[in-house]
Amino acid sequence: MFDYLKTWWIARKSEKGQDLAEYALLIALIALIVIGAVTLLGQEISTVFSNIANSLTP
């Protein structure tokens, strides 16, 4: 019984789960920023690459 409580207490104090959740939130935030930037700048980026491709084509 005491071994179970000791294991539970140690697991409760572990911060691995908290760190994992923080990294997941950080990745989600970065993904939202990238999606927003691509959505806002997508057409301009496409135009730039098209101009580059057209200038390389003889």
Per DSSP, the residues of 8-35 read: HHHHHH--HHHHHHHHHHHHHHHHHHHH
Query: In this model, does residue 46 exceed pLDDT 70?
Result: yes
Q: Alpha carbon of 21 to those of 6, 16, 17, 26: distances in Å?
A: 24, 9, 6, 9
pLDDT, tens only, 4-39: 677 766 766 666 667 788 889 999 999 999 999 999
3-state secondary structure of 57: coil
Q: What pTM does this model have? A: 0.53
How much is the pLDDT for 6?
72
How much is the pLDDT for 57?
81
How much is the pLDDT for 48?
93
Question: What's the pLDDT band for 47 if we cut at 50, 70, 90?
Answer: very high
